[in-house]
Amino acid sequence: MDGLRQRFESLLEQRNPVTNALRALEARTGVEKRYLAAGAGTLLSLYLLFGYGASLLCNVIGFAYPAYASIKAIESPSKDDDTVWLTYWVVYALFGLVEFFSDLLLFWFPFYYVGKCAFLLFCMMPGPWNGALMLYHRVVRPLFLKHHTAVDSVLSKLSGQALDTAAGVTRGVKANLTPLQKDK
């Protein structure tokens, strides 16, 4: 339990928009930022359990800050932050794909949105506990390395077929034009 508390304390010491807001609130209210963060987490969890629009709130949490951080990463000269946020978006997209097929079942679980929100926060966690990087290196990358040549082959065939189909359609359209329309 002490390890978890130490991680929590170290996260609160980092510089980012959330911790900056907590510092400002701490200065105004005199309440320690760890209590403010715990209270905010509790209120968020309760809202995700019982509030209307929990799905929307959860998706906003999973999208808004990562999108903002991604734009900042694009504008920064460092490549490391680009990699972190690209990895997040790969994991986010895969999670969205899995969620699409399992949502009808998972939606009925009372803690679904709390769990989803916790998972998304875990995936955007800064530092060595970044869940997206962990999942990428343990699950996504090995699967990619194992299957990428087969996927590339299928995509190449599909793109070739799409180009052939498009060329056939345009030839068919041109064949059906009147001589006056062909000149245009």
Contact by Cβ (8 Å): 59, 53: no
Range of the domain at 31: 1-51
* Nearest alpha carbon to residue 119 among 87, 137, 95, 93: 95
58 shares its domain with 46: no
* pLDDT score of 184: 56
Residue 163 lies in a domain: no
pLDDT of residue 181: 57
143 and 57 assigned to the same domain: yes
CA 100 to chain centre: 14
7 within domain boundaries: yes
User: 27 with 87, same domain?
Assistant: no
Q: Do both 59 and 144 map to the same domain?
A: yes
Torsion angle of C-alpha atoms 40, 1, 112, 13, degrees rounded to 10:
40
Q: Does residue 136 share a domain with residue 79?
A: yes
Please answer whether residues 44 and 117 qualify as being in contact, where contact means their C-beta atoms are separated by less than 8 angstroms.
yes
Q: Are residues 61 and 36 in the same domain?
A: no
pLDDT reported for residue 137: 94
Q: How many domains does the chain have?
A: 2
Q: What is the pTM assigned to this prediction?
A: 0.69
What token pair was written down for 38?
């715990």
Domain co-membership, 93 together with 130 = yes
Q: Is the same domain home to 58 and 28?
A: no
- Tell me the two tokens of residue 144: 């990619």
Q: What is the pLDDT of residue 120?
A: 93
pLDDT at position 145, please?
A: 92
Same domain, 98 and 133: yes
Residues in the chain with pLDDT values less than 50: none
Q: Are residues 91 and 120 in the same domain?
A: yes
